[in-house]
Amino acid sequence: MEIPGGIGWAERVVTHLFQTNTFVATYALEARLDALRQQRMLLRLLRDDVDVAASGITATDLTCSWRSEAQRGYDDQRNDLAGELRRAAGLLDTALTEVNAAIDEVGAEMTAATRLAPGLAPDLVPTWVPR
């Protein structure tokens, strides 16, 4: 039995199921996307801090011939630390690239989750679904 001017029973059922499944899929993807964006923000902050620290300890005196043995040893340790920090910055850049790729992937999945599943009868497609 149909209500005049209303939505048919089958269309209501299909619309409800479609909306429920799409909502669950998009909710999980949105949560994942939020987590990835948070991770990206934290990685950027950490990388910036590492860059600042590396630039702050880079040796300014290249000759150090006038310095004592202890001062030259200290400079060597500073140079080693600066090198480690530069390597850490490189690893953080790699991690950022991977997180950005994951964000793009989740974005594509979200787009796909909102599309109509193939095989659904066109007359039963909810009006809010892009065709």
Q: Does the residue 23 lie in any domain?
A: yes
Distance CA 80, CA 50 (A): 14
pTM summary value: 0.63
Tell me the two tokens of residue 26. 């998009």
Host domain of residue 34: 9-115
Separation in Å, CA 25 to CA 21, 30, 40, 127 = 6, 9, 22, 19
Looking at the domain assignment, is residue 63 inside a domain?
yes
| Domain-embedded: residue 127 | no
In a domain, 25, yes or no: yes
Total count of domains within the chain: 1
Confidence at residue 24, expressed as pLDDT on a 0 to 100 scale: 56
Exposed e or buried b per residue across 68-101, where buried means at least 16 C-beta atoms within 10 angstroms of its C-beta: eeeeeeebeeeeeebeebeebbeebeeebeebee
- Quick one: CA dihedral 69, 59, 92, 87, positive or negative? negative
DSSP category for residue 4:
T
Residue-level pLDDT, tens digit, the chain, 131 residues: 444 444 555 555 555 555 555 555 677 888 899 999 999 999 999 999 999 998 888 756 556 566 788 888 888 888 899 999 999 999 999 999 999 999 999 888 878 776 654 444 444 444 444 44
